[in-house]
């Protein structure tokens, strides 16, 4: 049944013809809009995200499973100034096949937005909004880790885009039997060259994430953990002014991992990776071929397929220091409404160490909107 579903999804991906722009992961982003005309507005917001992701994996590194359900985030929104947004609500996470909610959590964000920068406190513009590559940041975080809590600064001016953030994952109080957990990082892209007439664009992406587990007032017996993952590379894109072909592009990265802990608890203390991508964008379909070669690479927040240590339920101690993968990615974003997007994806993969048919397929729908209620009189 899962295989039938996946090939049905592939059929839809190829057969739907649409003229809207391709959006990559931006169709999955949770955007918090701030506009000057919203000054003193009271609004009701709704962010609804439906997901169906089926991983048909049979290797000893990453489990195969299905994620099927929705996130619902109703909220009240107030704009005390033309550049400030304050919202409060609740996240309801329902997995299909169960009668209970996976999570019910309060949400709160204050966002300050100026022409060239944004500052957020509370719930961040999280997961895919950071624009990380998958070896550093798992795409499934959009499902499994929908809320990041902390502070975020985004800069976008001229040739530079930058997102720096801190996510306070686990708080501790005096005597708690566990460690505090903090994550953070930076994702940046510097444009080096652009020729709008000929359609060329060259940029330099730099990314890193860091995780800390420790504390001074906990009663946990485990030692401190400090992990670092980073990537640097280049992106080259050639836009094509055609009826069918839209662009070709390549994105290539050197990736690294380092454990800075005083007491090592992981099977590898450092690792490297090579991540190469080449893609074609067309009017009806985006296609990308990705190659990964890893050596002792670990990333707590990265995609499971790229790890050199198992994250599986049945073989948690399995190691595969040398990892080599080839992934073919078919993706298609459909703009249904101004604030609603449908995303279809199919990603067959070839594991050089364990050749067999493996793939993931996914279906996402996101509706994120604010409805006007009233305006406060000054």
**Mean pLDDT to the nearest integer, 18-31:** 65
How much is the CA Rg of the chain, to the nearest whole Å? 21
Residue 275: both structure tokens together: 């991540």
The confidence score (pLDDT) of residue 14 equals 36
CATH of the domain at 247: 2.40.160
> Are 124 and 150 contacting, i.e. CB atoms less than 8 angstroms apart?
yes
Contacts of 314 (CB under 8 A, 6+ apart): none
In a domain, 106, yes or no: no
Q: What are phi and psi of 54, to 5 degrees?
A: -115, 115
The confidence score (pLDDT) of residue 284 equals 85
In a domain, 56, yes or no: no
The confidence score (pLDDT) of residue 241 equals 87
The confidence score (pLDDT) of residue 227 equals 98
Q: pLDDT tens for residues 77-90?
A: 999 999 999 999 99
Q: pLDDT tens for residues 153-167?
A: 999 998 999 999 999
More confidently predicted of 15 and 255: 255
User: Minimal CA–CA distance to 68: which of 369, 362, 268, 376?
Assistant: 362
Query: For residue 173, how many C-alpha atoms fall within 13 Å in the half-sphere facing its CB?
Result: 0
> Are 47 and 73 contacting, i.e. CB atoms less than 8 angstroms apart?
yes
Structural domain including 303 reads: 2-37+119-356
The confidence score (pLDDT) of residue 136 equals 98
In a domain, 373, yes or no: no
Residue percentage of the chain with pLDDT more than 90: 87
Total domain count for the chain? 1
- Element of type H or E holding 6: helix 2-15
More confidently predicted of 8 and 269: 269
CB atoms within 10 A of CB 258: 17
In a domain, 87, yes or no: no
**Mean pLDDT to the nearest integer, 143-158:** 97
Residue 117: both structure tokens together: 């920068």
In a domain, 286, yes or no: yes
Residue 319: both structure tokens together: 């190691």
- Element of type H or E holding 258: strand 245-259
**Mean pLDDT to the nearest integer, 255-265:** 96
Contacts of 185 (CB under 8 A, 6+ apart): 130, 132, 136, 164, 165, 207, 208, 209, 210
In a domain, 366, yes or no: no
User: Minimal CA–CA distance to 180: which of 151, 140, 222?
Assistant: 222
**What's the rounded Cα separation, in Å, for the pair 306 and 138?**
10
pLDDT confidence bin for 107, thresholds 50/70/90: very high
The confidence score (pLDDT) of residue 6 equals 41
Residue 22 has pLDDT above 60, yes or no: no
Residue 288 has pLDDT above 80, yes or no: yes
In a domain, 240, yes or no: yes
**What's the rounded Cα separation, in Å, for the pair 330 and 343?**
11
**What's the rounded Cα separation, in Å, for the pair 217 and 123?**
26
In a domain, 76, yes or no: no
């Amino acid at each position: 049944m899962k295989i039938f579903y996946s090939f049905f999804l592939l059929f839809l991906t190829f057969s739907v013809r649409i003229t809207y722009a391709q959006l990559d992961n931006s169709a999955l982003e949770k955007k918090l809009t701030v506009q000057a005309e919203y000054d003193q507005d009271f609004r009701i917001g709704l962010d609804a995200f439906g997901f169906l992701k089926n991983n048909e994996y049979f290797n000893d590194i990453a489990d195969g499973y299905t994620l099927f359900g929705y996130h619902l985030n109703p909220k009240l929104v107030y704009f005390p100034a033309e550049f400030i947004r304050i919202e409060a609500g609740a996240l309801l996470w329902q997995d299909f096949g169960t009668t209970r909610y996976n999570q019910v959590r309060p949400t709160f964000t204050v966002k300050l937005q100026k022409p060239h920068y944004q500052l957020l406190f509370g719930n961040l513009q999280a997961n895919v909004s950071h624009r990380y590559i998958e070896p550093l940041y798992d795409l499934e975080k959009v499902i499994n880790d929908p809320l990041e809590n902390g502070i975020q600064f985004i800069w976008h001016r001229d040739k530079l885009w930058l997102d720096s953030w801190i996510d306070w994952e686990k708080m501790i109080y005096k005597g708690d039997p566990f460690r505090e957990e903090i994550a953070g990082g930076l994702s940046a892209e510097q444009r080096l060259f652009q020729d709008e007439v000929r359609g060329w664009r060259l940029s330099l992406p730099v990314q890193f994430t860091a995780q800390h587990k420790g504390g001074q007032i906990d009663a946990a017996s485990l030692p401190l953990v400090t992990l670092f993952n980073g990537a640097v590379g280049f992106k080259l894109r050639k836009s094509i002014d055609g009826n069918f072909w839209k662009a070709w592009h390549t994105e290539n990265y050197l990736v690294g991992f380092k454990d800075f802990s005083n007491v090592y608890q992981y099977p590898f203390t450092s690792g490297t990776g090579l991540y190469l991508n080449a893609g074609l964008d067309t009017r009806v379909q985006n296609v990308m071929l990705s190659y990964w070669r890893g050596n002792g690479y670990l990333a707590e927040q990265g995609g499971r397929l790229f790890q050199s240590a198992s994250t599986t339920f049945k073989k948690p101690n399995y190691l595969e220091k040398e990892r080599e993968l080839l992934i073919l990615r078919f993706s298609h974003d459909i703009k249904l409404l101004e604030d609603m997007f449908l995303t279809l994806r199919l990603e067959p993969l070839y594991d050089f160490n364990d050749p067999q048919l493996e793939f993931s397929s996914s279906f996402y729908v996101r509706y994120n909107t604010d409805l006007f209620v009233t305006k406060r009189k000054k």
